[in-house]
Amino acid sequence: MAKTIYGPCMDGNVDFEMNELILHGIGNGMVGFNAYAHVVFTAPENLTCSVTATFIGRQVDINVDVHVLLKGNPVFNSTITEDGVVREYLNPAVSLDAGDTVSFAVGPHQQFGLHPGNTALEAVLDCYPD
């Protein structure tokens, strides 16, 4: 996970915009596991939230899977296989109890070694108490 704070980074391989949060899952065949990068929101009290997420491919030859999980259950699953491709999720009314989670995840899409996977995440939760 990284965040660009000093300006954009565009070097012909990656193209990070200023202030973007970048996620990258890990496929490591030597260790024998796939690891997902997650950003997790935990409800501090009972809430109703509008949840939006935008995943943007930010690397040449990218190959990732992207997900949104509500309370641990997948509600959005997609892939990004081209630089600049955008995948969006919107749910206008999600009921969360205190301790429930909303998770935004990026994984290696069955790539079991070093691979292009830098993905920008823009997520907004607009919540009010129940």
pLDDT at 47: 98
Distance of alpha carbon 118 from alpha carbon 64, whole angstroms: 8
pLDDT at 31: 54
Domain 2-129 in this protein, CATH class? mainly beta
pLDDT at 33: 60
CB 56 within 8 A of CB 117: no
pLDDT tens across the length of the chain (130 residues): 777 777 788 888 888 888 889 998 876 655 556 688 999 999 999 999 999 999 999 999 999 999 999 999 999 999 999 999 999 999 999 999 999 999 999 998 877 667 789 999 999 999 999 8
pLDDT at 99: 98
DSSP reduced 3-state for 7:
coil
Q: What is the pTM of this model?
A: 0.90
Joined tokens for residue 101: 């989670």
pLDDT at 123: 97
Buried b / exposed e along 23-44 (16+ C-beta atoms within 10 A): bbbbbeeeeeebebbbeebebe
CB 86 within 8 A of CB 38: no
